[in-house]
Amino acid sequence: MSFASFCSVILVGLPEMAYKSLFRECAGGVIWGKGIVLRAPGNITIGERVAIDDLTQLDGGTAEACSTVIGKGSVICKGCVIQSKLGPLTMVQVI
Are 46 and 27 within 8 A, CB to CB?
Answer: yes
**Are 60 and 39 spatial neighbours (Cβ–Cβ below 8 Å)?**
yes
Residue 60 has a CB neighbour count (10 Å cut-off) of 24
Q: Where are the domains of the chain?
A: 3-91
Average pLDDT of the residues in 18-45: 89
pLDDT over 70 at 28, yes or no: yes
The pTM score is 0.79
pLDDT at 80 over 80: yes
DSSP 8-state class, residue 39: E
88, amino acid identity: P
Label residue 2 by pLDDT band (50, 70, 90). low
